[in-house]
Amino acid sequence: MPLTDHPLRYQLANELHARPFPALTAPATVVFLAIKRPDGAVARDRAADVAHLVSLLDRHGAPHPQPGATHWSGQIGRHQLKWESHTEFVTYTAISEGLTGRPFDPAEFDVFPAGWLDTAPGVRMTSILVRVAPRPADGAEIAARLDDWFVPESLAAAHVLDDEAVVAGDFRIDPAGHMRFAVFAGAELGARRTGRIVQRLCEIETYRAMSMLGFARARDINPRMGGMDRELTALIGAMADGATRAEATLDRLLAVAAELENMGAQAAFRFGATAAYEAIVLERIDLLREVKFRGRQSFTEFVTRRYDPAMRTVRSTEARLAKLADRAIRAGELLQTRVDVERSAQNQKLLESMDRRADAQLRLQKTVEGLSVVAISYYAVSLVAYLAMPLAYMAGLDKTWLTALIVPPVVLSVWLLVRRIRRLH
């Protein structure tokens, strides 16, 4: 076609197919690992993440990912490996056929060598063992296995995908440090649908763990917010009774507002990410299309009882922080108005004082001008008398009369001159 493609057209279209679901059939074992940079560390080093993947692939002679790749899948030994790079973390999913005699054997995690794990560019966010077994015909047999494998008090189990499989997990970390899920796949469940179930279980746990970071942040800042709330209330009370100087109260109020803004800026990303992760968790559970299994709590019920309160805490903390910041800003604006009014009154008094001083100065200036006229006139009369002395001698005038005749015009002339100079300036 005689059209120019957008430079990102193919890249964005391929992104829709960048992370296909794995395909697996029962019986199978799935090992999942999510690695995240430590909180407070520098930004994620994607090159280090890829280098860590390459070091694992080189152990098995597997091909490397393409430059700039955000996902990779291939065979390493007897495992099918899938690697994905996300915004905050990377995930490794290793799938092997068959089941071990010991359910959820920690040795299954040996697909990731200990030396390789020690060099990971981050920390473990979660690790999961998923046991995918054929579904027994008798539901009582499944229930017995679940009671043996999991903690009954926190066990969640459900029929999923129109009763084509049963999934279960207790969301507890076992002594080896892993989460555990069981999938009992029906005979009619295809390999890709089984893979979708497994991936959604891994995503539910991964995004649940990531979203709980927001809960940890909320729990950390809640005591600080409580102290700042009390201080802000005290400052607003001081504004009302006028017990302290407005300038001093304003300085402290601005410090509180700045600290609240700083707390909000530091927590904004984590709280926003928590909201996004929570939405993904709820969406993935909804996609399972759960139906109760023998009266056990479903994943939805588990989330409602155990997970939702933490997320509500995050949302309430975020809202409380925003409200505190708004209160501090409004109080600062009111106090600033009060300070401006007080300063205007002070400026008005200052101007009035300046006016009084100017009037006094003007009166003093006029007095000085009068004295100046006298002084200048005295010397001017003397000069004019000396100049007119010869003429007075010729006219026969006495010096006293000459001086008396000279004084009025000289004083008048000096007065007019001083007045003219004052008008000009």
What's the sign of the alpha-carbon dihedral 155, 158, 160, 163?
positive
pLDDT of 320 > 90? The answer is yes
pLDDT for 164 equals 93
For residues 380 and 245, the model is more confident at 380
Extended beta strands in 11-78, E state? 28-36, 71-76
pLDDT for 40 equals 61
The predicted model gives 73-83 an average pLDDT of 94
pLDDT for 243 equals 63
Tens-digit pLDDT profile for residues 112-151 = 999 999 999 999 999 999 999 999 999 999 999 999 999 9
Where residue 341 falls among pLDDT bands split at 50, 70, 90? confident
The predicted model gives 21-34 an average pLDDT of 94
Where residue 425 falls among pLDDT bands split at 50, 70, 90? low
Tens-digit pLDDT profile for residues 241-296 = 766 677 777 788 888 888 888 888 889 999 999 999 999 999 999 999 999 999 99
Where residue 111 falls among pLDDT bands split at 50, 70, 90? very high
Where residue 410 falls among pLDDT bands split at 50, 70, 90? confident
pLDDT of 1 > 60? The answer is no
pLDDT for 132 equals 97
pLDDT for 244 equals 66
Residues with Cβ within 8 Å of residue 377, at least 6 apart in sequence: 407, 410, 411, 414
Which of the residue ranges 126-140, 280-294, 309-323, 371-385 would you say has the lowest mean pLDDT? Answer: 371-385
pLDDT for 20 equals 78
Residues 237 and 303: beta-carbon distance below 8 Å: no
| DSSP 8-state code for residue 89 | E
pLDDT of 89 > 80? The answer is yes
pLDDT for 387 equals 76
Pick from 192, 423, 206, 214: nearest CA to 317: 214
Amino acid (1-letter code) at residue 256: V
pLDDT above 90 covers a percentage of the chain that reads 55
Length of the chain: 425
Name the pTM for this structure: 0.78
Query: Could you write out the DSSP letters of every residue in 237-272?
Result: HHHHHT-S-HHHHHHHHHHHHHHHHHHHHHHHHHHH
The predicted model gives 315-339 an average pLDDT of 86
d(CA 417, CA 380): 13
Tens-digit pLDDT profile for residues 177-228 = 999 999 999 999 999 999 999 999 999 999 999 999 999 999 999 999 999 8
Calculate the average pLDDT of the chain. Answer: 88
d(CA 192, CA 91): 19
pLDDT for 242 equals 65
Where residue 41 falls among pLDDT bands split at 50, 70, 90? low
Which of the residue ranges 80-89, 314-323, 380-389 would you say has the lowest mean pLDDT? Answer: 380-389
pLDDT for 97 equals 94
pLDDT of 235 > 90? The answer is no
pLDDT of 351 > 80? The answer is yes
Give the ranges where 69-190 is alpha helix by DSSP (H). 114-118, 139-149
